[in-house]
Amino acid sequence: MTQGMSKTPLLMVDHLTVEFAGRAGWGGFGARTRPAFRAVDDVSFRIDPGETLGLVGESGSGKTTVGRALVSLIRPTTGHITVAGKDISNLTRDDRQALPRAVQMVFQDPYGSLNPRFSVERTLAEVLSFHKIVPQVEIAAEVRRLMDTVGLPASLAASQPRQLSGGQRQRVGLARALAVRPSVLVLDEPVAALDMSIQAQVLNLLRELRATLGLTMLFIAHELGVVRYVSDRVAVMYRGAIMEIGTSSEIFLTPQHPYTRSLLAAMPRLVPEKRSRPPVLSTEVESGTGQGCRFRSRCPLAAPVCATEPAVVKLSSTHFASCHFAA
């Protein structure tokens, strides 16, 4: 989806498609390969400097695959990813190592992404020295500064991941990503594994860092409230494609795509009243690859016209939806 060119975007994702090769069946002899699975299907968006784009969707929507393509953990099948004018979508291994600062990722489970034997201090020092971010003599001071930035008390410098709480580990993950001073930070479900009271701490920290460091972020999450809290704009994905993209208020206050509306309506409200309403959607996600709109088998508005792929409808200079009925 193309949008008004007000500023030079820092990150451009241009017709990104990611396919996973079909797995071979059991038994090599006569084994057939299944058709390739298209996890991301012609996705385009941009993020301006200092902006946070939220990426929401249910499991299988392709949101994590988009994030992994941005940090070169997955190679795009077709399409381009440009950071600050440089195409990073088809880098060789050597190119990638020379370009550590472009995009950094913070993962959902800080436990799985930290070396269990490294102290906080060593985790951060390794990154700083490997990428030669600061001279060797300044590393200790830089570690302290990073810990301070993410709100980790200096007393935890010698602690190993297992000695930290979930919230503290996620702060270490964030500090490690910030250590290389990336242009863009990709956060994949950064608070999903955390307790409610700790979620709020980390979300507030992200908002603070966005304001003080001018961070540019892609914030991937399934929880709509959380996405709204930190995002300037939001993209809603369904089965590999963006259904709707707009400013936070456009998506949350005046959603136009029936899928976005369903997601919002399905969210439990904080109103203490026993529910008697039927479910918003009565069916589950289908895995087939039919023609036309990919939401139509579940869509309350589905009509014969939906058998053709809907065009992207421009609703405002920032608001776009892929639906025959968006207007």
Partner 1 sequence: MSGYLLEVEDLSVAFASRDGTVLANDGVSLNLRPGETLGIVGESGSGKSVLCRAILGLAKGRVTARRIAFDGRNIDDMPPAERRKLRGSGIAMVFQSPMSSLDPVWTIGDQLVETVRLHQAISRRQARVAAAALLDRVGIASSVRRLDDYPHQWSGGMLQRAVIALALAGNPRLILADEPTTALDVTIQDQILALLMSLQRETGMAMIMVSHDLGVIAETVDRVAVMYAGRIVETADVRDLFQAPRHPYTAGLFASIVAGSGQDKMLTPIAGQPPDLQRLPAGCAFAPRCPRVRAECHLSVPRIDSTVARANACLFPLDDPLAVDRRQ
Is the torsion defined by CA of 54, 303, 325, 78 positive or negative?
positive
Site residues, partner 1 (CB under 8 A): 58-59, 165, 167-168, 195-201, 203-204, 207, 222-226, 228-229, 248-249, 252, 262-263, 266-282, 284-285
- Using the minimum distance from each CB to partner 1, give the nearer residue, 72 or 168: 168
d(CA 139, CA 126): 9
Least distance between partner 1 and beta carbon 276 (Å): 7
Least distance between partner 1 and beta carbon 294 (Å): 14
Least distance between partner 1 and beta carbon 303 (Å): 21
Least distance between partner 1 and beta carbon 228 (Å): 5
Least distance between partner 1 and beta carbon 234 (Å): 11
- Using the minimum distance from each CB to partner 1, give the nearer residue, 66 or 191: 191
- Using the minimum distance from each CB to partner 1, give the nearer residue, 5 or 271: 271
- Using the minimum distance from each CB to partner 1, give the nearer residue, 9 or 54: 54
Least distance between partner 1 and beta carbon 189 (Å): 13
- Using the minimum distance from each CB to partner 1, give the nearer residue, 65 or 199: 199
Least distance between partner 1 and beta carbon 289 (Å): 17
Print the SS3 string covering the chain.
CCCCCCCCCCEEEEEEEEEECCCECCCCCCCCECCCEEEEEEEEEEECCCCEEEEECCCCCCHHHHHHHHCCCCCCCEEEEEECCEECCCCCHHHHHHCCCCEEEECCCCCCCCCCCCCHHHHHHHHHHHCCCCCHHHHHHHHHHHHHHCCCCHHHCCCCHHHCCHHHHHHHHHHHHHHCCCCEEEEECCCCCCCHHHHHHHHHHHHHHHHHHCCEEEEEECCHHHHHHHCCEEEEEECCEEEEEEEHHHHHHCCCCHHHHHHHHHCCCCCCCCCCCCCCCCCCCCCCCCCCCCCCCCCCCCCHHHHCCCCEEECCCCCEEECCCCC
- Using the minimum distance from each CB to partner 1, give the nearer residue, 116 or 278: 278
- Using the minimum distance from each CB to partner 1, give the nearer residue, 139 or 175: 175
